[in-house]
Amino acid sequence: MQNIATETEYNGPDILHSTADASQKPIKFRSRGPTHRAIRLYANWQSFIPKLVPQMLLYDSDCLEGREMQQVDSLDNRCSSHTSTREVLCIEHLRYAVYEVSHCSCVSAAERLVRCGYFPSTAAEPSIAFSFELLEFFRKMYEEASDATTAMAAALSSKGLPIDDPIRRSLGGALQWYDLVLQAVEAEVDNTIDNARERLSTAIESSDEESSEGHETKAPKLSCGAVLRNRCPACFGGSNFGLPLTRGGDIQVAVDANFSQRHAKSSGETPTFYSPKFFISKEKVDAAGERIMTARKRPARRYKSEVPDDAVDACERSFLAADESAAKTKGSKFDDTGLTALVCRHDVPLFLCNVDTPGEQQKYAITLVEELFEHIPDSATVTVLYDIGCVLDRGVRKYRLLNDGVIKRLLWATSAMHAYGHEWLCQLTFNPRLMDGQGLTDGEGVERLWARLRHLIGITRCSGRGKRIYLIDRRVAHIAMIKFNDLGCWMRTRLKRIGQYTVESRRLVNESGLKAPARLKKQLQTVLSLQEVLHQQQAGLVEAAEGLYSSLNVPEQFPSLEGVPFQFIHTLLMARDLKMVLRQRLVGRYFEISRIDQSSGGADAVLGTKLHQTARQNAAKRSTTTLTSIRKFNGYCAILQQLARPEWNIPVPRPLSTTLDGLKDDPYLYEDVWVEATPGGPPKWLSDQSVRMGIKGIVKIARCNEEQERLSREGENLLRWYEEELGAVTLALSVDSACGE
């Protein structure tokens, strides 16, 4: 390509050098709705995209076959109609040139530019075009770093003559429509492969019908929808479904919301130009919300729950996500307040909902679950991990928020990171590390998705409303493709991790001193049953004030404590209540500090100044009162140690460390104070640390075995999907070759 200085004289408007004083321009207030000019521009582009797809395919064919690229100014116009030429500024990485592009009523200038590897800034009468290599380079860079077009325009400006605002706007528009043309090309290829897959499926079904002639029964749906199979074939590529929920179910997914991805009302709207692939429509979300409101007006259904209502109520009070009325954003400033996402256990994003309410309402999670069940067989079972899975499980069963066919195939659990903030009885039922069949799935994949989307927060907040959905949807599609390509490496890494965990867990079991693992399992069941009994007694104890302890009827409430001096019982119960309050305070503090710890050293997204200061202030407020309570609890422990007698067989609580950061991993923090006599002495799981570690080792070994079994099934799913995809692509290529001949 020749330089503009030797190519031709450019007589068009001076778009490279702007002499107007920006300070002299009148201030224009931005309208919230799209302008008529923007509507016409978007409509013109949408009608033009189908015409550019064939030219893009021809250019790609030339590149793949190694043919010489055609020059913009060397195209022959063989059309009999009137031809005309126009000057177009073509920009590449390090240089630019002006070409005279001929066009007619049959082939537009934009089509000729695309045929030669340049994408126009406008569809009708382009004056600027960018090379595909430049646009593809910036598109890939944007997918990783989310650099704005302003930065790219500034970089181009440093190479040669200064490039001012008109180029920046043209570059932004070209990038957007170039990406949409690429999507149209991909859709064309996908349609060809889908048609071939349909022909293969029809041929297989015909052969099956011939082999089973005389049977008119219609075969049930045995595979997941194409949308899910193409996003994660490891989860959805199989054909055997119906695994019991006690073994973890066929599919494991996670749900969570994020209120950082907001959109400012002042940024306005954009014309509709994009159909999102991952976002569920607002109509579906609102319909689910109306059904939930109607269901809650009906009388609650009676159902059997493994967790008492008071425990779930305590969890609901502990988590802000469980309070639907709690406003997390300013509704007067933002029209879109966040996102809710559904990901599989491989962190592949499946579906998203746009949040337009101030709080985290249950309708978003319900809509995502309903959308998932629409694309899976009727026999498939699903485990959903959610921060407040216990609360949503109660709501679904109590008010029938989902149909019975879905409820019986659905299991709720809490995410692993948030599980320790729940009540102990809730953890026994909903913690994935304690549930049979869950393997090593942690349910934190949505948090990792938010971390990868954090670069878009500033960009999408001030973009048009439709542009925000487009940018997020395209970034999510890019993340999904990365996770899709990484499935094999993910499974290999997980297999290595299983081996390491198993070796370490077996070492803990061997060091526990108990030879029979069955004995440890029996001890674990004893722990669970005793904790349930203790929780049933908690309600009356928490409400009692210190002045009422003297009126407690100890023989009736605790028959095993009869004969124990009142001073010991009084101190024991005081220590028990104080420790429960302490544990709740410390868990809240760890939630605040964890956000700072995760962002330090580049391990996670850096917190802003406001969030950092708020987290520090909240943690500092709790520190003084928490340390005072710890010292008071340790004083109770010292008194109990002096008063205790061996014949009572009552375990004395151990004092806690006054180092707050070290208490997070202290197992004694999460123990309840024992308020029952233990005939024969305290059990080993309570008094022997090695036995406790052995129990944890057995639980970890069970999870590793379950994970290995699930990885085996996922490997089979991948193989089956690959065979089907290979057959469809081979058939599509053969049909295309036959048509070409």
> Of the ranges 49-58, 168-177, 521-530, which one carries the lowest mean pLDDT score?
521-530
Contact partners, residue 109, CB within 8 Å, separation at least 6: 86, 88, 101, 102, 103, 120, 125, 126
**Helical spans, DSSP H, in 644-688:** 684-687
Of the chain, the end-to-end C-alpha distance in Å amounts to 35
Model confidence band, residue 347 (pLDDT cutoffs 50, 70, 90)? very high
Report strand pairing: 251-258 vs 128-131. Answer: unpaired
Report H helices in 158-268: 165-211, 226-231, 233-236
In the DSSP assignment, the letter for residue 220 is: P
Q: Do the beta carbons of residue 491 and residue 714 sit within 8 Å?
A: yes
Q: Which of 63-72, 330-339, 420-429 is predicted with the least confidence, judged by mean pLDDT?
A: 63-72
107-121, 454-468, 606-620: which range is least confident on average?
606-620
Give the residue among 370, 373, 376, 408 at the shortest CA–CA distance from 292. 370
Q: Where are the domains of the chain?
A: 4-19+29-190, 242-485, 544-687
Proportion of the chain above pLDDT 70, given as a percent:
72
pTM: 0.78
For position 687, what pLDDT does the model report?
65
DSSP per-residue string spanning 586-636 = HHHHHHHHHHHHHHGGGSSPPPPHHHHHHHHHHHHHHHHHHHHHHHHHHHH
Token couple for 221:
């749906």
The token pair at 597 is 């710890």
**303-327 confidence digits (pLDDT tens):** 888 888 888 888 887 776 555 666 6
Confidence (pLDDT) at 9: 38
- The Cα angle at residue 567 between residues 565 and 568, in degrees rounded to 5: 70
In 305-458, the DSSP E strands lie at: 334-336, 338-344, 349-355, 382-386, 410-413
Count CA atoms within 13 Å of residue 46 on its CB side. 11
Give residue 695's pLDDT: 84
345: nearest Cα among 432, 463, 472 = 432
Can you give the pLDDT at residue 458? 86
Q: What is the mean pLDDT of residues 111-132?
A: 88
Three-class secondary structure of residue 348 per DSSP: coil
pLDDT in tens, 6-42: 333 334 444 334 444 434 343 344 446 788 888 888 8
Residue 256 DSSP code: E
Whole-angstrom distance, CA of residue 522 vs CA of residue 680: 17
Structure tokens that stand for 152 in this block: 């790219």
Q: What is the pLDDT of residues 233-257, one digit of tens each?
A: 999 999 899 999 999 999 999 999 9
Contact present, 675 and 536 (Cβ < 8 Å): no
* pLDDT 10s digits, 661-713: 777 667 677 677 766 666 656 667 666 777 778 888 889 999 999 999 999 99
In angstroms, the CA 189 to CA 553 distance is: 78
Query: What gap in Å lies between CA 86 and CA 113, rounded to an integer?
Result: 12
pLDDT attached to residue 29 = 40
